[in-house]
């Protein structure tokens, strides 16, 4: 999901205050845990289990960074944040990083002074409608009421789509995924639009998911990923290469099941560098040399995390699609560990 540049002035003030605290890694180490911003609740991406523990695809990125720093994926304090305040919270220094269905855009990078550490999910905006409406295309939505998160790029994409197709709609503003679900099911809107992965996650929580259809149109590019503040490149490297370690491990065949064995040394130099049995990549980034090994031991590689939380055998039921490894026709690609 997306936020426009409406908070520019406040965010910039936050950069001055938060960005000046340059060595975030030192602060995190001294504190003894990572502060990570996540969604207020989106099944598959960030939601609490029966024991009250946060679980999900975005949560796993936070735990990977904690494992890299502390060797302990539980050394995280989670802060659920709404779309409206997520960037202010990050720029103010209340959290160290944000891992929350957030689209990498020009204005967020350049104007809001945020730094995206990479892409952990290639998404696009879609539409969810009740099956009983018998709608098969978003182009049939002329005159519809649409639940939409105000002040987001989702809102702007929606306006563009309806204008280009010369059809009209009435927006129904909502603030969170939970509110969207409530309003949509109550019939306050005919359609709910957000990232297609968010629609799948929302639908999975319905009493009867089969009574609702995600329409075929994907009307935007939404590269989602974790982000940090500008001004602390070393901290950005920690988050970026933790994500890259998840991606590279899958490509290299390093899993939670074999990482201990492979960390003793293999005939593949890149696996050895990744897992710390060769070279000094850990020292370069200010961590122990087994930092990436700890990440994979904590929750597995990217593919394992994807299948556990949002894959085809989960209620979310997402195919890998663009999120397959580049070697399998997808866009997922880590720079070399060298």
DSSP secondary structure of 241-289:
HHHHHHHHHHHHT--TTTHHHHTT--S-HHHHHHHTSSS-HHHHHTS-T
Average pLDDT over residues 103-110: 93
Describe the crossing of helices 177-185 and 196-204 by its angle, rounded to 10 degrees. Answer: 60
In order of 96, 226, 301, the CA distances from 52 in angstroms are 22, 23, 24
At 15-54, the pLDDT tens digits run: 444 443 448 999 999 999 999 999 998 999 999 999 999 9
Q: Can you give the pLDDT at residue 177?
A: 81
At 55-72, the pLDDT tens digits run: 999 999 999 999 999 999
| H or E, element range at 77 | strand 76-80
In order of their start, the domains of the chain are 23-122+224-328 (3.40.190.10), 124-221 (3.40.190.10)
Report the predicted TM-score, pTM, of the whole model to 2 decimal places: 0.88
243 touches 58 (CB < 8 A): no
Query: Residue 59: which residues within 8 A CB-CB, separation 6 or more?
Result: 38, 45, 46, 78, 99
| pLDDT bracket for residue 151 (50, 70, 90) | low
Q: Can you give the pLDDT at residue 333?
A: 95
Q: Can you give the pLDDT at residue 186?
A: 96
| pLDDT bracket for residue 10 (50, 70, 90) | very low
Candidates 216, 159, 215; CA nearest to 192 is 215
| pLDDT bracket for residue 14 (50, 70, 90) | very low
Q: Does residue 74 register a pLDDT over 50?
A: yes
Tokens of 327: 């070697």
Percentage of residues in the chain having pLDDT higher than 90? 85
Q: Can you give the pLDDT at residue 236?
A: 97
Average pLDDT over residues 91-114: 94
Q: Does residue 13 register a pLDDT over 60?
A: no
As a whole number of angstroms, the distance between CA 146 and CA 127 comes to 9
At 266-284, the pLDDT tens digits run: 999 999 999 999 999 999 9
118 touches 240 (CB < 8 A): yes
What is the residue-averaged pLDDT of the chain?
91
Candidates 103, 134, 288, 270; CA nearest to 211 is 134
At 195-228, the pLDDT tens digits run: 999 999 999 889 999 999 999 999 999 999 999 9
């Amino acid at each position: 999901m997306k936020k426009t540049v409406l908070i520019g002035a406040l965010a910039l003030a936050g950069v001055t205050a938060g960005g000046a605290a340059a060595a975030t890694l030192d602060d995190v180490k001294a504190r003894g845990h990572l502060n990570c911003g996540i969604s207020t609740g989106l099944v598959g991406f960030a939601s609490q289990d029966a024991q009250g523990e946060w679980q999900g695809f975005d949560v796993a990125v936070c735990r990977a960074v904690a494992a890299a720093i502390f060797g302990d994926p539980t050394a995280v304090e989670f802060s659920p944040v709404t779309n409206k305040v997520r960037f202010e919270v990050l720029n103010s220094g209340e959290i160290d990083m944000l891992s929350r269905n957030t689209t990498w855009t020009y204005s967020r990078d350049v104007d809001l002074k945020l730094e995206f550490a990479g892409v952990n999910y290639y998404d696009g905006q879609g539409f969810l409608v009740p099956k009983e409406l018998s709608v098969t295309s978003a182009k049939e939505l002329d005159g519809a009421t649409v639940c939409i998160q105000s002040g987001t790029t989702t809102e702007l994409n929606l306006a563009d789509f309806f204008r280009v197709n010369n059809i009209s709609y009435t927006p129904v503003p909502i603030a969170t995924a939970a509110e969207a679900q409530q309003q949509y099911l109550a019939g306050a809107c005919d359609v709910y639009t957000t990232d297609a992965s968010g629609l799948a996650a929302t639908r999975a929580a319905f009493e009867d998911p089969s009574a609702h259809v995600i329409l075929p149109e994907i009307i935007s590019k939404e590269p989602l990923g974790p982000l940090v503040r500008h001004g602390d490149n070393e901290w950005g490297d920690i988050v970026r290469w933790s994500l890259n370690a998840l991606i590279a491990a899958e490509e290299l065949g390093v899993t939670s099941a074999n990482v201990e064995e492979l960390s003793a040394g293999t005939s593949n130099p890149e696996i050895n560098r990744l897992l710390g049995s060769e070279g000094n990549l850990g020292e370069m980034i200010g961590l122990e040399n087994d930092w990436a090994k700890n990440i994979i031991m904590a929750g597995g590689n990217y593919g394992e995390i994807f299948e556990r939380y949002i894959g085809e055998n989960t209620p979310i039921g997402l195919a890998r699609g663009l999120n397959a490894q580049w070697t399998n026709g997808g866009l997922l690609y880590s720079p070399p560990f060298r």
